[in-house]
């Protein structure tokens, strides 16, 4: 009862430590926080078709690898209150040293201010790998975006002090989850704050490609007037195949319907009732590939989804098909996509994410007239950045 009263006053913020076995093909991350944080258990996405091998909070833009959206009762999460550097955070006692949180990439002001109430905050951006390894042993938690790799070497260099890794965003593929598990380190993310921003950017890329907006702008900037050359296509009555019907995918579906598009979706773990409520038809992968005019990709990057869109898949698509990707670059085989474009097997692509970011100047998809590229802007709105900052700060502190 005393602990509950302290929690209500907001004076006790406990760290959470995962207790999970690392199995040969299972990576397990457990995180607990406020209502906006998530318990994360990643189990290889589409590798196992059975829903019994999945868990509800995959920390991705999709419900791939989730068990019908309901939390599995067997998940065990234990709050540990005896960690000297992270227990009773913000308790107000002068005898307890505040934990140190390293913010390794730019974070919104609201998130920094929240962290500073309960921790010593070290904002050190653009650290080299060597600098990160030298600094991490002085930190109880680290917050990163997508640019910093939290590898097994980082966990080793922390010498057991690192308790929490916070990912300011959705995907956690830049964190070595096996090493986190072995070192008893919690991995948390911010899975909800940038949902709308990512969906809006997906729709922006869709419209930009359909109406040649990027090409027209480049043409005008070079002093040309190529009105007859830049004829686009209408979106109304076209079929959008949403590949991954999670938070972002469902928001994209809503907006596409507002444009008069027919929406189908592929996601073996998406609840049928949810799709029906949104007027979306759930189909299998092959049917989605065959029917789609536009494809909006929203699955996580796992061993099962790596290069999911490859040469074989492109050959099954319509010749007017267009790929829109605001999920993860690795789900597309870049060279296979370039070959498909060269062979006119599909019409084009609009990409916000890449296997290696930034992509090299000689990347096979850079500089093509039928490919629209943006530098990972899916979550780059003022509102989303502040929301993500607060969400990940809350998750780390809890």
Q: Is 97 a catalytic residue?
A: no
Q: Is 376 a catalytic residue?
A: yes
Options 97, 113, 312, 357, the catalytic residue: 357
Distance CA 133, CA 267 (A): 39
Q: How far is CA 192 from CA 26, 195, 277, 316, 328, in A?
A: 24, 5, 21, 34, 17
Confidence check: pLDDT of 150 > 70: yes
Confidence bin at 69 (pLDDT 50/70/90): very low
Options 328, 345, 391, 394, the catalytic residue: 328
Options 145, 163, 167, 376, the catalytic residue: 376
Confidence bin at 398 (pLDDT 50/70/90): confident
Distance CA 77, CA 293 (A): 44
Asked whether 43 and 27 are in contact (CB, 8 A), the reply is yes
Distance CA 257, CA 238 (A): 10
Confidence bin at 119 (pLDDT 50/70/90): very high
Q: What is the pLDDT of residue 97?
A: 84
DSSP state of 298: -
Confidence bin at 82 (pLDDT 50/70/90): very low
Question: In whole numbers, what is the pLDDT of the chain averaged over residues?
Answer: 81
């Amino acid at each position: 009862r005393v602990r509950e009263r302290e929690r209500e006053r907001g004076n006790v913020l406990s760290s959470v430590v995962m207790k999970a076995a690392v199995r040969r093909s299972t990576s397990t991350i457990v995180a607990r926080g406020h209502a906006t944080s998530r318990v994360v258990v990643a189990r290889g996405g589409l590798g196992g078709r059975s829903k019994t091998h999945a868990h509800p909070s995959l920390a991705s833009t999709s419900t791939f690898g989730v068990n019908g959206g309901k939390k599995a009762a067997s998940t065990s999460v234990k709050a540990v209150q005896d960690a000297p550097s992270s227990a009773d955070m913000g308790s107000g006692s002068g005898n307890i040293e505040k934990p140190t949180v390293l913010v390794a990439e730019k974070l919104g002001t609201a998130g920094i201010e929240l962290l500073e109430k309960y921790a010593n905050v070290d904002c050190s951006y653009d650290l080299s790998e060597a600098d990160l390894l030298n600094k991490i042993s002085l930190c109880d938690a680290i917050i990163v975006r997508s640019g910093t790799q939290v590898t097994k070497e980082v966990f080793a260099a922390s010498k057991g002090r690192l308790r929490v890794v916070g990912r300011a965003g959705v995907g956690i593929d830049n964190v070595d989850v096996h090493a986190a598990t072995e070192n008893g380190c919690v991995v948390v993310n911010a899975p909800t704050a940038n949902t709308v921003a990512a969906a809006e950017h997906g729709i922006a890329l869709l419209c930009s490609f359909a109406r040649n907006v990027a090409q027209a702008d480049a043409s005008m900037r070079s002093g040309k007037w190529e009105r007859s050359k830049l004829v686009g296509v209408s979106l109304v009555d076209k079929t959008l195949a949403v590949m991954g019907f999670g938070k972002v995918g469902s928001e994209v579906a809503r907006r596409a319907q507002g444009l008069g598009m027919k929406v189908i979706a592929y996601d073996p773990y998406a609840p049928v009732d949810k799709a029906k409520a949104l007027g979306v038809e759930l189909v299998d992968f092959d049917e989605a590939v065959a029917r789609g005019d536009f494809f909006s990709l929203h699955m996580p990057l796992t061993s099962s989804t790596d290069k999911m869109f490859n040469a074989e898949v492109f050959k099954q698509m319509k010749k007017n098909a267009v790929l829109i990707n605001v999920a993860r670059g690795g789900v597309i085989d870049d060279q296979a996509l370039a070959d498909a474009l060269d062979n006119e097997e599909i019409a084009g692509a609009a990409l916000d994410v890449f296997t290696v970011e930034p992509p090299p100047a000689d990347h096979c998809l850079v500089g093509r007239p039928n490919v629209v590229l943006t530098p990972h802007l899916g979550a780059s709105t003022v509102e989303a950045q502040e929301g993500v900052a607060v969400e990940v700060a809350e998750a780390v502190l809890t």
